[in-house]
Amino acid sequence: MAEQNGDTAGPAEVEAADEVEQLRAERDDMRDRFMRALADAENTRKRGERDRREAEQYGGSKLARDMLPVFDNMKRAMEAISEEQREASKALIEGIELTMRELLNIFEKHGIRIVSPEVGEKFDPEYHQAMFEAPVPNTKAGDIIQVMAEGFMLHDRLLRPAQVGVSSTPG
């Protein structure tokens, strides 16, 4: 009689309730997997965007690094020109200077800037490479005493440290 009044559930009702509970658990699992897939897709999109930006900014770093000796050699050539040579070969030297300016303009256009320390500045291992140490009067240990080659940055990354000589004289 109790079954007819609805006080206890029959086997079909128990089976239906179990099935509903199983479907809810399956739905919750699918929702969780869907949310994880969405998050994963968003992370992949962001990573792809970051990789694209980095490739755009730093993709030419190998070429840029390979161009630095060209700059160094041209600078040395210009520094070696005497006044007599300057007068005798004015057009040639103007051409070399124009080429140097163009190279620097291209560097600037592509985010390459010169790291040019001055004698007397403090040595900074993030931007400078010590090529030698020497005791020099009237300097403190760690002061730059000579600049052999400028360094270069590509945006916010170091392409090549400035090559410097450093004082070993105790302060």
How would residue 158 be classed by pLDDT, with cut points 50, 70 and 90?
Answer: very high
CA distance 85 to 75: 16
pLDDT at residue 8 is higher than 90: no
pTM for the model stands at 0.68
3-class state of residue 117 by DSSP: coil
Structure token pair of residue 62:
């190998």
Q: What is the rounded average pLDDT of the residues 90-98? A: 92
How far from each other are the two terminal CA atoms of the chain, in whole angstroms?
Answer: 105
Strand partners, 167: 134
Q: Which residues contact 143 (CB under 8 A, 6 or more apart)?
A: 120, 121, 122, 123, 136, 166, 167
Q: Taking all residues of the chain, what is their mean pLDDT, rounded to a whole number?
A: 90
Q: Supply 114's token pair.
A: 């010169």
Per-residue pLDDT of 27-38, as tens digits, reads: 999 999 999 999
